[in-house]
Amino acid sequence: MIHQPIHTLADAYRRGDLTPTAVAEAYLARIDALDRRVRAYLTIVREQALAAARESERRWRAGTPRGPLDGAPIALKDVLCTRGVRTTAGSKILDTFVPPYDATVVERLRAAGAVILGKTNLDEFAMGSSTEHSGFHPTRNPWDLTRVPGGSSGGSAAAVAAGMAAGGFGTDTGGSIRQPAAFCGVVGMKPTYGRVSRYGVVALASSLDQVGPFAQDVTDAAHLLGAVAGHDRRDATSIPAPVPDYAAELAKGVAGLTLGLPDEYFIDGMDPDVERAVRAAIEVLKGLGARVESVSLPTTRHALAAYYVILPAEASSNLARYDGVKFGLRVSAHDLVGMESRTRAAGFGAEVKRRIMLGTYALSAGYYDAYYGKAQSVRTLVRREFAAAFARVDLIVAPTTPNVAFKLGEKEDPLSMYLNDVFTIPGNLSGITGVSVPCGFSVSGLPIGLQILGRPLDEARVLRAAYAYEQATSWRGRRPDLP
């Protein structure tokens, strides 16, 4: 039952071949056996998971399941607030924080009958591309335990890849779902900004953050997204638009669609295995009836620099609330200033401190226009270029990352780490949707991801193209060898 997609589990529940309780117990046992090596989780909610599974089992036996996610074992990135369960954001400063409410995404998953197994590891406050910058421990890639799973949502990606969850959720601020999905050989979806509520999500950069699913296949990704998407009055940025039946759209294929291929996404220094696999995937899509033409996104080369001004600026504002006064860690001192300084020094890691300082500087008097203002101007250009491209093509296809998963500790220089997000960041700056789907392996056996980008609110077409490619290839059937 491990590594069965969620929709296959639902079919087995319907037939009576499996029960949600047996499946939850199997996943919890696998976590016990494997997570000492992978270290994908920060918190396991064993009793809650089994209780939810038993309730799901009663519904299936009564013939009244809540939908395709009823009884599905799910892992949540530890930035999603969970009532009564600690939510750390991967930081020591929130080590003992227990929210009194659920995030909207969590509410909707519970309403759909999902069985939440636990909270997964991440780069502290989602600041990173490798899950090495967690305040607790690094997570390892199930395909090679000496390598990173990507980040910042590396814990959720690794849990799904390792068969320690049937599906998962993360957040994508600059590629933090798509990049670990590519590194771990799973499907990872970034919805349109505003498609999924951010209420109850520990904020990093409020104009960039978006919640999305990890899945074993595209069908599961469609079901997971459908369960959590939709307007939420508690989130001022939530889009009041109807949610399509994503799963029902999958089988329409790509025949007749025009796919844009941006030259700027094939750069010097790219891993030749990645370029080979992505170009082969594009040939598969052409063979399925899609037409491919070149598009130009010249501001892509400036997007990384703009992002690393905008994100730290917003992060420095969002993280100002962690001062030891209302919640989280408090380190005593003789006065308020001393207490705040000591608390932040003890609670924040090096990468978080680095970005707070960068962001505060970019927002300071005399520098705001030179840095933050110019970065926002670049963001506008990125949006316009995507809009112009989508006036000519239906979707854009590109590599998800320029390289495969790298060794733990290999990228100690911050700039080399930041470059991992060069192909995913433009999608966040523009607010569009995108998915990473497995498209091959390197000569060393590491997964490679194909990125498919679409217009705002065009998740259905993005998933449709990913599904067509997935069904025409066999990559989804390969799993890491973790005895």
**pLDDT tens digit at each of 483 positions of the chain:** 899 999 999 999 999 999 999 999 999 999 999 999 999 999 999 999 999 999 999 999 999 999 999 999 999 999 999 999 999 999 999 999 999 999 999 999 999 999 999 999 999 999 999 999 999 999 999 999 999 999 999 999 999 999 999 999 999 999 999 999 999 999 999 999 999 999 999 999 999 999 999 999 999 999 999 999 999 999 999 999 999 999 999 999 999 999 999 999 998 889 999 999 999 999 999 999 999 999 999 998 899 999 999 999 999 999 999 999 988 999 999 999 999 999 999 999 999 999 999 999 999 988 888 999 999 999 999 999 999 999 999 999 999 999 999 999 999 888 788 888 999 999 999 999 999 999 999 999 999 999 999 999 999 999 999 999 999 999 998 999 987
What is d(CA 149, CA 133) in angstroms, rounded to the nearest whole number?
12
Instruction: Tell me whether residue 152 is one of the annotated catalytic residues.
Output: yes
Residue 144 gets which letter from DSSP? B
Structural contact between residues 120 and 131, judged by C-beta atoms closer than 8 angstroms: no
Which residue is associated with the tokens 């995937």? 281
What is d(CA 474, CA 476) in angstroms, rounded to the nearest whole number?
6
What is d(CA 129, CA 173) in angstroms, rounded to the nearest whole number?
11
Q: Is 93 helix (H, G, I), strand (E, B) or coil?
A: helix
- Cα-to-chain-centroid distance, residue 98: 23
Q: What is the pLDDT of residue 183?
A: 98
Instruction: Tell me whether residue 77 is one of the annotated catalytic residues.
Output: yes
Query: Domain 6-250 belongs to what architecture?
Result: Alpha-Beta Complex (3.90)
Q: Name the catalytic one among 56, 129, 152, 238.
A: 152
Length of the chain: 483
Q: What is the pLDDT of residue 126?
A: 98
Q: Name the catalytic one among 56, 176, 197, 436.
A: 176
Q: CA 176, 180, 182, 187 torsion: positive or negative?
A: negative
What is d(CA 181, CA 215) in angstroms, rounded to the nearest whole number?
9
Structural contact between residues 39 and 121, judged by C-beta atoms closer than 8 angstroms: yes
What is d(CA 401, CA 471) in angstroms, rounded to the nearest whole number?
22
Which residue is associated with the tokens 């000569």? 443
Q: In what order do the strands lie in the sheet with 258-262?
A: 41-44, 115-120, 73-77, 167-171, 211-215, 187-190, 433-441, 447-454, 395-399, 258-262, 291-295
Residue 372 gets which letter from DSSP? I
Strands 433-441 and 395-399, by their bridges, are unpaired
What is d(CA 106, CA 206) in angstroms, rounded to the nearest whole number?
19
Q: What is the pLDDT of residue 327?
A: 86
Q: What is the pLDDT of residue 420?
A: 83
Nearest to 77 by CA among 137, 28, 120, 129: 120
Q: Name the catalytic one among 77, 119, 190, 411.
A: 77
Which pair of tokens denotes residue 292?
């491919």
Half-sphere exposure of residue 379: CA atoms within 13 angstroms, side-chain side? 21
What is d(CA 235, CA 104) in angstroms, rounded to the nearest whole number?
9
What is d(CA 194, CA 230) in angstroms, rounded to the nearest whole number?
9
Q: What is the pLDDT of residue 298?
A: 95
Q: What is the pLDDT of residue 366?
A: 86
Instruction: Tell me whether residue 317 is one of the annotated catalytic residues.
Output: no
